[in-house]
Amino acid sequence: MTSREDANSTPVFLDRIEVIGIDGYKKKYVEKVLSPLLSSSTKTLGELSSESEKTLKSLTFLGGFESVDIKFDTDTKSANKKVDLLDEPLTSVYGSINAKPLKPTAFSIKSIHNDLGNAFVSSYLNRNVFGSGEQFQLNTYWGLFDETKSVDILSSTPIIDTSLRLFGHLNVLKSANKLFQSNQQAATSAELGVIKQKFCSRSGALSSFSTGLNLVNRNIGHIADSANDEVKTYAGDSLKEAIFFNFVSSNMSYLTKSRLTLPLNGFTISLTNEVAGVPALLEKLQDEHQEDSFSTDRQDQFYKVGLGLDFAKSMFSNQLTFLSNFKLGSIINFASSTGGTVHFQDKFYPLVAGYDKPLMPSSSVGSGSFLSYNLGFSTKVGIVNVDQPLRFYSSVNGASVSNELAGLEKSELREISKNWKHGLDLGLLYSNGDASAKLFWHKPIDSSKNNVGKFGFEVDIAGAW
């Protein structure tokens, strides 16, 4: 037995635990969260270390604390003197849990002005509605010079333990995006699912897995006479019933004063999966001899997948940061053999610097598949302290699209390889979480000598209470 193993097997007596900063939660719920530590007062040092790590994760997953710290020390003043089975005296220890709570409620109003539009956005968040870790969030978006308006409600509650949550998500959207060749696009979507969080000590990555059901009712109206047949196909109401499975893992660290907006080191991986037209697919499984299992008179049936990878690496004490992003997405239309289509709002719309509109195949609305990249760097600005959230940045980005709806097969990859568009993006960026401002120059990388690019300025300003 090694000295470390010997130390881990040393029995101790946990005399007491002092808890600071968890007053907003119900006493019984706190006891449940601390149950790994409270299960027994006599344990080994190895068990104490393992159980304190579980408790630390449970408190972190609640999402109500800026930081949580757990410490143990020898309790020389303890009046409780315990012995082990061999009648040897046990060392008494006491624990202290020091949590720095976030504000239980937060409200903010943000003014957004950028190339995508001008809007007011409001957000209300309650991190602990009933005292047992329930969360409620309400967001609104109000376009200033267009018809875009939305209300977004998200609610969740821990089940079994704090790493597993049941959530419900409702979104109501009204817009008049000219890209869709109509003056009215309305959608109401509802999700019900579960999300599981897991922390990997080795990589320092926090991962989340979510799955559930998604219902979307859409209405497309006031369609232009010259609109694409793809748009006209979905005139009026349409319904989507889907199941989804999403995965995100990240150990990304950020510049402290940027409040999670300027990455420094680490990675983020995201994977989204959606299967639409679930009733028709279930019918197909139940009756393999059904001739027209993918009927065109009902909702779309397809599989949609998206993959993203972000990587950041800083050098010279964070004065220089290299950044990269890669994405791909693809849709497989299960009903293509019977003339079934995929709603244009379910397709992909990648953006490239220097181009006013998302990239799309000719004579199509949206893309069935795409690949994109962004490679760049950011640096501190002159004599400005490196800790300040002000950066000069430069990047080259590009994307390629295809209208095929058969997944990334050879024909799909062949088409995508021919349709690349590239752009250059450079400028100054300031972002502290409450406000951001960007002065930029965008230039498409093409053979046109007359295109000098576009200068622009974007600003977001928020007030928080």
**pLDDT over 70 (residue 407):** no
Shared-domain flag, residues 65 and 139: no
Q: Tell whether the model's pLDDT for residue 291 goes beyond 90.
A: no
Return the pLDDT at 202: 81
> Do the Cβ atoms of 427 and 381 come closer than 8 Å?
no
d(CA 169, CA 159): 17
CATH number of domain containing 166: 2.40.160.50
Q: How far is CA 259 from CA 60, 124, 213, 302, 431, in A?
A: 18, 18, 32, 38, 8
Q: Which of 101, 130, 152 lies at the terminal end of a domain, its last residue?
A: 101
* 176 vs 209, more confident: 209
Q: Which CATH number is 85's domain given?
A: 3.10.20.310
- Considering the domain architecture, whether residues 29 and 59 belong to the same structural domain is answered as yes
Q: Is the pTM of this model over 0.85?
A: yes
**50 and 75 together in one domain:** yes
Closest CA to 391 of 346, 435, 437, 345: 437
pLDDT by residue (tens digit) across 67-103? 999 998 887 666 566 655 445 677 788 889 999 999 9
Which residues does 95 contact at the CB level (< 8 Å), separation at least 6?
A: 14, 16, 17, 18, 37, 52, 70, 71, 72
204 and 279, same domain (yes or no): yes
Q: Are residues 306 and 394 in the same domain?
A: yes
Q: How far apart are CA 304 and CA 285, in angstroms?
A: 20
> 359 by DSSP, 3-state: which?
coil
Mark whether 179 and 72 lie in a shared domain. no
Statement to judge: residues 62 and 81 lie in one domain: yes
Q: Which is more confidently placed, 145 or 369?
A: 369
Contacts of 321 (CB under 8 A, 6+ apart): 263, 264, 312, 313, 314, 315, 377, 378, 379, 391
Q: How high is the pLDDT of residue 295?
A: 45
Q: Are residues 363 and 458 in the same domain?
A: yes
From residue 432, alpha-carbon distances to 55, 100, 378, 388, 437 in Å are 31, 21, 16, 9, 10
* Residue with token string 């974007």: 458
**Would the CA dihedral through 249, 255, 256, 260 be positive or negative?**
negative
CB of 168 closer than 8 Å to CB of 190: yes
Segment (H or E) for 231 = helix 229-233
Q: Are residues 52 and 134 in the same domain?
A: no
Instruction: Count up the domains in the chain and report the number.
Output: 2
* 124-133, 204-213, 333-342, 373-382: least confidently modelled range: 333-342
- Which string of b and e fits 22-54 if b means at least 16 CB within 10 Å? beebeeebbebbbebbeeeeebebebbeebbeb
Query: Are residues 80 and 148 located together in one domain of the fold?
Result: no
- Neighbouring-strand partners of residue 393: 378, 427
Token representation of residue 43: 């344990």
Range of the domain at 97: 3-101
Convert the pLDDT of each residue in 138-167 to its tens digit.
Answer: 999 999 888 899 999 999 999 989 999 999
Distances (CA, A) of 255 to 269, 295, 314, 427, 432: 20, 52, 11, 18, 9
Where is the domain boundary, 101, 129, 152? 101
d(CA 194, CA 215): 15
SS3 52: helix
Asked if residues 18 and 94 have their Cβ atoms less than 8 Å apart, the reply is yes
Q: Are residues 205 and 227 in the same domain?
A: yes
- 6 φ, ψ (degrees, to nearest 5): -65, -40
Please check whether residues 363 and 234 belong to one and the same domain.
yes
Q: Among 61, 77, 101, identify where a domain stops.
A: 101
